[in-house]
Structures are given as structure tokens and as C-alpha cells.
A and B are shown apart, each in its own frame.
Chain A
Amino acid sequence: MKNKPSLHVTQTNDGLSVTLQGNWVKETVKALDLAFNALTCNPKTVYTFDLSGIREFDTHGIMLILHYTKKLEIQNCIVLKVGASESLEKLFTVCEQHYPEKKEKPPKEIFILSFLENVGKDIFEGYRTLSYFFAFTGELTQHVITSLLNPLTIRFKATLYHIEQSGARALPIILLTSFLIGIVIAYQGATQLEKFGANIFIVEMVTISAVRELAPLLTAIVVAGRSASAYTAQIGVMKITDEVDAMSSMGFSPWNFLVLPRLFALMISLPLLVFFGDIVSVFGGMVIATTQLDVSFVEFIDRIKETVALKHLIIGLVKAPIFGCVIATIGCFRGFQIDSSTESVGKYTTISVVNAIFWVIAIDAIISVLLTEMGL
């Protein structure tokens, strides 16, 4: 085949003559590279590259020729090129002008050093994130206070929108999970209580654990999964597309437009969601109590009135806005951390959900211990 790329070396009086033939394009460059490698390199020789046999060419082929030309020139060889067609000559000149002189080689990595460097970077990064977070919460508090003092600056429409998105739309999944949790507690309790014949205690067990701990916690976790991620991604993408900067430059504070509506929305909707969750999980318990333990609905409700103190419900409901505040703050904070790469959207969205769920559980634990110590 005529088009088969090849490289022939012949000895002439003046030095070596190298005949280049065939297609010098990206598909053939690999084979040609091997052929060039086999070329013996005699220092201080004159090499004549005969380019007249080249049929098709592209920048990759030319780059290969350039590369080996430079290599030979370093060895004090003289490289001449003859027979290039006009267009080859032209592209060759352009490529030669732009041939990268020296590659900027990244320094070689030594394992232990790069390990230490990464540890250092992580620690520093953690420290910086922490100080950013404190700055963020500080500024957030300030903006919350100023906007509460001037309620007209609160973006009510945006707040309502987020109440709908993060609150109302979360209702079905929260009702379902709460109902199932009510059933689970009651079912597990029922088998144990039946052994003692203490069937009626199912009421306290289900009601207290559901309204005080489980319904608030579960609701918060579901909302963290839905909304912390959404807030982070929304704000992050707005940052990438410069929408946040555009806002600030037009004098719309991103705090008032982005953060506060989300914060208020979660602080308002979470207690409401928890209340619905309470009702449904107790109902789940009641269903099991009737079917498994012969405690009727009426008996169940009477017993709640008699033995379950209102404080449990209140404690559960008071925790809800705290959880809402934590979720919204983390969601927004991580959103503002997203920089210009699309990859960081995924990264910070994940971090934001994990953080939000962790802090909801941690704060729940702290409150639980504190209240018990206080005797509540």
C-alpha cells in the first residue's frame, strides 16, 4: 500500500537521508513514533528529511517530526528538510512557531512528603472552614436580628415559596415514615409488654418516645436529606453562574434574598411537620395496640390524657425549629462554599446532607442529656 506510513534511512555522502512516506496523521503517529525511536542517532551528522512522499498530514504528524528534529539538534546534528509541499510547509511553519519549548514538568512526588502535605492541607482547610463557618453564623445572626427589627425587609413571598417546597411537599413522606415508626415501636413493645400482662403501658411507651424523640428526629432527618441538599445545590449553581455576584452588585443582599427566606421557612415549617408526625406516629401505635394488645382507641386516648405529660410534646416541638435552623444554616453555608467548578456542587451537596444529619442527631443527643439532667 502506498499510503502506509514509513521511514527509510539511507546513507549518502553528506550524511543520512531520511525518507518520509505515506499518511502522517494522528492514526499513524504511534507507529511512526516507534520507527523514529529505532532511528540511530549519530551526533554531529547531517540529516536530510525528505518530506516529498508525505501524502496526508495533520498537526500531530508534524509535531512528531518537529519533536525528533529538536532531539537531533540537541545532539549537534544538522537537520534539513526538503521536498515539502506548499501546504505542508505552511502548516509546518505554524507548528514550529508554536512548538512548546520546554514543558513545565510538575516536580516529582515523594510519597511521605505528599502525604504530609495532604495532612497539612486538610488540617488547614478544616481550620479555615471552621472560621468561615463562625463568620457565616455571626453574620447570619446579625442579619436575622436586623430583619426581625425591620420586618418589612423580610422576603415573605420567597419565604412562603420555601415553606411550600421544603415543608408542604415533604409532608407525604414524613407522614409515611412517622406512621411506620409508630408501628415499629408499638410492635416491638407489644411482644415484651404482653409477657408481663402490662398491655396498657403501650400508651406511654409509644406516645412519649414518639412525640419527644422519634418524630422530631425523623422529620428533621428527612428534611435534612431533602432540603439541605437542595439549598446547597441551588446556591452553589447560582454562585457558579455569577447570579450571586449579580445580585450583590444590584444591591440585593444575598442574605435577605437567599439565606433568610430558607432559614425562616425551615424554622416555621419544621414544628408543623413534627406535629403532624407526632399525630401519625401515635396513630400507628394505636393501630398496633388495638390489633395486638386489645387496647382500644378510646382507652388509648384516655390513658394519654391521664399519664402523658404535655411537656413531652412541647419538648419535641421546641426542638423542631432548632433542627430547622441547623439544617438551613448548614445547607446555605455549604452552598456558598461551592466555587467555580461543577464538580464541587456534588461534593458540597453530599457534605451538606451528611453534616446536617449529623448535627441534628448530635444536637438532639445534647438536648436529651441536658433536659434529663435538669429533671425534665
Chain B
Amino acid sequence: MKNYIAIEAKNIVTQFGQSVIHDEVSFKIQRGEIFGLLGGSGSGKTTLLREMIMLQKTSGGQMLVLGTDVMKISSKMAQKLRQKWGVLFQFGALFTSLTILENVMIGMREYTNLPDWIIEESALMKLSMVGLPPKVANMYPSELSGGMKKRAALARALALDPKLLFLDEPTSGLDPQSARTFDELIVTLRDTLGITVVMVTHDKDTMANVLDRFIILGNKKVLFEGNMELLKQTRDDELKKFLS
């Protein structure tokens, strides 16, 4: 068992019609790692993330998540796998007809046998962890600001204490201070619960302080794989842009 590898992408090819987005992209993500997907706008980061969580099919290659190939998975296994991860979408994607509290509770309601009061208290705790005041609990997503929606969506992603956390630009739309608090929270969760985090980010501070390793996508390929120290030694002009 390759137990220490959480996600492995092998020669992923993605095409939308004629346009190729990924051409043989490969990388490995270790368990307990905070892994970054970087790259310019439109370089296919969100698409890659969607392929990991089975929202999109690859045109070629293999995507192994927790040891199973998500392209050849039975629907029963897929359902099991889905309970092991939490996802934060780029634009939040809260359920608009539910209150914030209900949004956070819905996963626990469906997938656990926890008593109601525990579900409610842990949902409130998660909301507080992501920095939302208790009064938003009974509000609807439309009544929140963009950054608040993002945090609520993060609380929903964290609700089931997932083993794997996928975050699409978690700190965009947050003020710098909240972004740092958020970074700390992610690191604490990783250190204590041993979760694996895959995040798309453009935030320089997050890159430097939080990410253990990252890849930079560009030109349909992986331009770089490694950490900040390694990136600082690069001579490539294309890559230097990510440092400034």
C-alpha cells in the first residue's frame, strides 16, 4: 500500500473540444502535506481540482486519490470517497435556500448519526473557527458579503473533519489579516488532524508561510514542482514572476 501518497496524477490530459488544457501533467501529493496549485489565470488549476474530486473527466491519464483511480471507481466507492473530503469552491457555492448554519450542518445531518445538539454546536464552532460572528448563523447566503460567504463555505468544507481538503483560492476576497488567520487555521488543522490540503492560491504570503510544496502550471505542463526555497534559486523568467 502506498499509504503515504494522498493523490497521484499520472500524465493527465485534459481537452475541451479542440483546446488542450493539460498535456501530460504528473505530480504526487503526500499525506499530511499542504500542497499548492499555482499558475496564471486560465492555466487550468480549477479544472485540475475538479478532476480530483470527480466533477470532471480527464481525457487521458490516471488520477489516484487515496489510492483509488477516480476514473474507474464504482459509484458506491465514489460515494465513500466523497465523504472523506471537503471542498471549498472558488465562488463559495453555498446553498442559497439554506441558512449559513444549515449549510454547515447539512453534511453532518446526512452522513453521521450525531445528535442534533452536537451537530449544531460543532457547526457553530466551525463558523467561529473561520472567523464568522455567531449572528450570521441564521442569515441566508445572500445577506453576507463576498468574504463572509467564502468563510462560511470553508466552514462547510471543514464540517465533517475531512481527511482531504480541496480549497480553490481560499484567501481571495479576504482582508490580509483574515487571510493570515485562515492560514494559521489550516496549518493547525494539518498539524493536529493530519489532513492533506490541496489548494489553489495566488496569495504570496500563503505560498511562503503555508505551502509545503507546490506546482506551477503553465503552457499546459508542470513548469515547476518544489517549495519556495527551490523557486528562489530558479533562473527562469517565467517562474520568477511568481516570486515578486
Contacts and interface: CB of A to CB of B under 8 A. Distances in A.
Interface of A: 25-27, 29-30, 33, 58-60, 63-64, 67, 87-88, 90-91, 94-95, 97-100, 103-104, 106, 240, 339-344
> How would you classify the secondary structure of chain B's contact residues: helix, strand, loop or mixed?
helix
A98 B129 contact: yes
23 contacts: A27-B112, A29-B114, A29-B118, A30-B113, A30-B115, A58-B161, A59-B125, A59-B161, A60-B118, A63-B122, A63-B125, A90-B188, A91-B193, A94-B185, A99-B128, A100-B124, A100-B128, A103-B124, A104-B135, A104-B138, A339-B142, A340-B142, A343-B96
Contacts of A104: 134-135, 137-138
Interface string B158-189: 00110000000000000000000000010011
B128 A98 contact: yes
Contacts of B160: 26
Contacts of B96: 240, 340-343
B158 to A, nearest CB: 8
Question: Which 3 A-B residue pairings sit nearest by Cβ, starting from the closest?
Answer: A340-B142, A343-B97, A100-B124
A67 B114 contact: no
A103 B108 CA distance: 18
A59 B192 CA distance: 10
Given A90-B192, A104-B134, A60 B128 contact: no
A307 B171 CA distance: 78
B191 interface: yes
A173 B1 CA distance: 61
B128 A64 contact: no
B126 A59 contact: yes
A339 to B, nearest CB: 7
Contacts of B124: 100, 103
Nearest to B138: A104
Nearest to A95: B125
Contact of B192 (A88, A97, A240, A341): A88
B224 interface: no
B141 interface: yes
B140 interface: yes
B114 A58 contact: no
A99 B138 CA distance: 17
Given A98-B128, A341-B142, A87 B192 contact: yes
Contacts of A106: 138
Given A88-B192, A91-B192, A342-B97, A64 B142 contact: no
Nearest to A25: B161
Interface in B75-115: 96-97, 108, 112-115
A106 B193 CA distance: 33
B120 interface: yes
A99 B125 contact: yes
B121 interface: yes
A342 B141 CA distance: 11
Contacts of A343: 96-97
Nearest to A67: B121
A150 B18 CA distance: 46
Contacts of B97: 341-344
Contacts of A99: 121, 125, 128
A126 to B, nearest CB: 22
Contacts of B193: 58-59, 91
A347 to B, nearest CB: 10
B121 A100 contact: yes
Nearest to B125: A98
A173 B134 CA distance: 54
A97 B160 CA distance: 19
Nearest to A87: B192
A81 B124 CA distance: 24
A103 B121 contact: yes
Contacts of B138: 104, 106
A33 B140 CA distance: 31
A287 B108 CA distance: 65
Interface string B122-158: 1011101100001101101110000000000000000
B180 to A, nearest CB: 15
Contacts of B112: 26-27
A26 B188 contact: no
Nearest to B124: A100
Interface in B178-213: 185, 188-189, 191-193
A336 to B, nearest CB: 16
B236 to A, nearest CB: 38
A103 B189 CA distance: 24
Given A63-B122, A98-B129, A100-B128, A340 B161 contact: no
* Interface-central residue, B97, B141, B185, by most chain A CB under 10 Å: B97
A60 B114 contact: yes
A170 B115 CA distance: 53
Contacts of B161: 25-26, 58-60
Nearest to B128: A98
Contacts of B114: 26, 29-30, 60
Nearest to A88: B192
Contact of B188 (A58, A94, A344): A94
B128 to A, nearest CB: 4
B140 A91 contact: no
Nearest to A61: B161
A87 B194 CA distance: 9
Nearest to B161: A58
A59 B140 contact: no
A343 B122 CA distance: 27
Contacts of B185: 94
